[in-house]
Structure 1
Amino acid sequence: MIHKLTLENILFLDIETVPQHENFEDLESLDQELFAQKTQYQRREEFTPAEFYDRAGIWAEFGKIICISVGFFRDTGSKRTFRIHSYKGEESQLLKEFAQMLEEHFSRNEHLLCGHNAKEFDFPFIARRMIIHGLELPTKLNLFGKKPWEIPHLDTMELWKFGDYKHFTSLKLLTRILGIESPKDDIDGSQVRDVYYKEKDLDRITRYCERDVIAVAQVILKLRNENLLQDDQIISK
Structure 2
Amino acid sequence: MLDRINLKNILVLDIETVPQYAAYEELPEQWKELWKKKMARDIKEGLTPDGLYQRAGIYAEFGKIICICAGYFFENGSGLQFKVKAFYGDDEKKLLEEFNDTLNKSFSTDEHLLCGHNSKEFDFPYIARRCLINGLPIPYLLDNAGKKPWEVQLIDTMDMWKFGDYKSFTSLNLLAAVFGIESPKDDIDGSQVWSTYWIDKDLERIKNYCMKDVVTDAQLLLKFKGMELLKPENISFTN
For this structure pair, what is the TM-score category when the shorter chain's length is used for normalisation? over 0.9
Give the whole-Å Cα distance in 1 for the aligned partners of 2:172 and 2:79. Answer: 27
Gap runs ≥5 in structure 1:
none
Secondary structure at the aligned position of 1:225 is classed as coil
**Worse-superposed segment, 226-235 or 70-79:** 70-79
Shift of 1:44: 3.7
Secondary structure at the aligned position of 1:4 is classed as coil
Q: Partner of 1:234 in structure 2?
A: 235
Gap runs ≥5 in structure 2:
none
Runs of 4+ in 1 over 3 A off after TM superposition: none
Give the whole-Å Cα distance in 1 for the aligned partners of 2:221 and 2:42. Answer: 33
Shift of 1:41: 2.3
Aligned residue identity for 1:110? E
1:4 aligns with 2:4: yes
Change (3 A) 1:23 1:223: same
Q: Partner of 1:31 in structure 2?
A: 31
Q: Partner of 1:172 in structure 2?
A: 173
Q: Partner of 1:70 in structure 2?
A: 70
Shift of 1:167: 2.7
Name the % identity.
53
Q: Partner of 2:107 in structure 1?
A: 106
Aligned residue identity for 2:65? I
Secondary structure at the aligned position of 1:145 is classed as coil
1:212 aligns with 2:202: no
Secondary structure at the aligned position of 2:36 is classed as helix
Change (3 A) 1:43 1:111: farther
Q: Partner of 1:143 in structure 2?
A: 144
Give the whole-Å Cα distance in 2 for the aligned partners of 1:110 and 1:211. Answer: 26
TM-score (norm 2): 0.97
**Worse-superposed segment, 140-149 or 77-86:** 77-86
RMSD: 1.0
1:83 aligns with 2:83: yes
Aligned residue identity for 1:48? T
Shift of 1:77: 5.5
Change (3 A) 1:47 1:111: same
Secondary structure at the aligned position of 1:222 is classed as helix
Secondary structure at the aligned position of 1:236 is classed as strand
**Worse-superposed segment, 158-167 or 59-68:** 158-167
